[in-house]
Amino acid sequence: MNKEFISKSENSEDKKAVFKEFDAINQEMVAKAKEDMVKLVDVSVELDGRYILKDINLTVKRGEILVIIGSSGSGKSTLLKLIIGLLKPTSGQIWIDGKNITMIHEDDLNEIRLKMGMVFQYSALFDSMSIGDNVAFGLKEHTDLDESVIKEIVTEKLGLVDLKGIEDNMPNTLSGGMKKRVGLARAIAIDPQIVLYDEPTSGLDPINSKVIDELIVSTKKAIQATAVVVTHDIKSAFTISDRIAMLHEGSFVIMGTPEEVKKSENPVVKNFINGFVT
């Protein structure tokens, strides 16, 4: 259609005007896309003939905490892996900070990943490295900072998760809750713009869960990062979220503020948040 429009413009002045208009529209689109830190457009993931996710549309604004809830096997972790580029969608587009990452090469994707951090469900700490080296890993790999500066940053980040002084410990000496906190310190060490959390409170006692919830909120405030949290912990979801989206059988059944989700009359949502067995 655009080509037709251009060809109809007879003189070069008209063509210039059309290109200017396109430019303006383009810039507007990029600016709009940049407002959205994460954007998924009609994303589907099919595995062995079964849809894990189907026609997912999702936007996460800059600085927002979006919590994705849903029962086990609903596609929550798959969604997170799509956002960080560990999985490719069968169809649809994924935009991160205004850049389409859907089909880009792993090496180009790494540039985008430098803007992101991820807290894994089982922490995924490097078990052959000390806690200090785990937290410093990203800084050592991607910056030219002096060892002393890196040490300071590690101390600061471990301080943020209330774990100062354990730099020389090995991961196998820590409890589950402590490992999650170290995982968070590692994820935020390079000051990412987006932090992804995969089941951050699963397997933790209520006190540790609360600590992690508070850390997610305080981390967002400290580094102004956008957060996408995947959880089936309803209490945690309502505590930390700006918005909640619920996945059910590969599709969103609701997306809105915590209040909107609480008031939802959708039986799937009601049953899930009230813990009813259907």
Partner 1 sequence: MLSILSGIGNLIFQKLELFGQLVLLTIDTIKRLRFLDIKRLVKQMAHLGVDSLPIVLLTIFFTGVVITIQTAQEFIKYGAQSTVGGIVTIAMGRELAPVLTGVVMAGRVGAAITAELGSMKVTEQIDALRVMAVNPVAYLVVPRLIACIIMCPILVVFANVIGIIGSYIITTFYDSITTQMFINSIKVFVVPHDITGGMIKACFFGAIIAIVGCHKGLNTAEGAEGVGTATTESVVLSIILIFFFNCILSALLY
Binding site for partner 1 (CB under 8 A): 84-86, 106-107, 110-111, 113-114, 116-118, 120-122, 124-127, 137-138, 141-142
With respect to partner 1, which residue has the nearer C-beta, 85 or 200?
85
For the CB of residue 57, give the shortest distance to partner 1 in the complex, in Å: 24
The CA-to-CA distance between both ends of the chain, in Å, stands at 51
Provide the pairing of β-strand 99-100 with 91-96. Answer: antiparallel
For the CB of residue 87, give the shortest distance to partner 1 in the complex, in Å: 10
Provide the pairing of β-strand 65-69 with 226-231. Answer: parallel
Distance in angstroms (rounded) separating the CA atoms of residues 159 and 147: 18
Q: Which two tokens stand for residue 191?
A: 């000051």
With respect to partner 1, which residue has the nearer C-beta, 91 or 110?
110
For the CB of residue 67, give the shortest distance to partner 1 in the complex, in Å: 20
For the CB of residue 84, give the shortest distance to partner 1 in the complex, in Å: 6
Q: Which two tokens stand for residue 58?
A: 């999702």
Distance in angstroms (rounded) separating the CA atoms of residues 67 and 49: 28
With respect to partner 1, which residue has the nearer C-beta, 75 or 117?
117
For the CB of residue 70, give the shortest distance to partner 1 in the complex, in Å: 20
- The vertex-249 CA angle with 243 and 252, nearest 5°, equals 25
With respect to partner 1, which residue has the nearer C-beta, 68 or 254?
68
If phi over 0 gives left and psi between -120 and 50 gives alpha, with beta otherwise, what is residue 191?
left
The closest alpha carbon to 56, from 33, 72, 70, 75, belongs to 75
Provide the pairing of β-strand 65-69 with 243-248. Answer: parallel
With respect to partner 1, which residue has the nearer C-beta, 19 or 126?
126
The Cβ of residue 117 has, within 10 Å, a number of other Cβ atoms equal to 27
With respect to partner 1, which residue has the nearer C-beta, 10 or 144?
144
For the CB of residue 136, give the shortest distance to partner 1 in the complex, in Å: 11
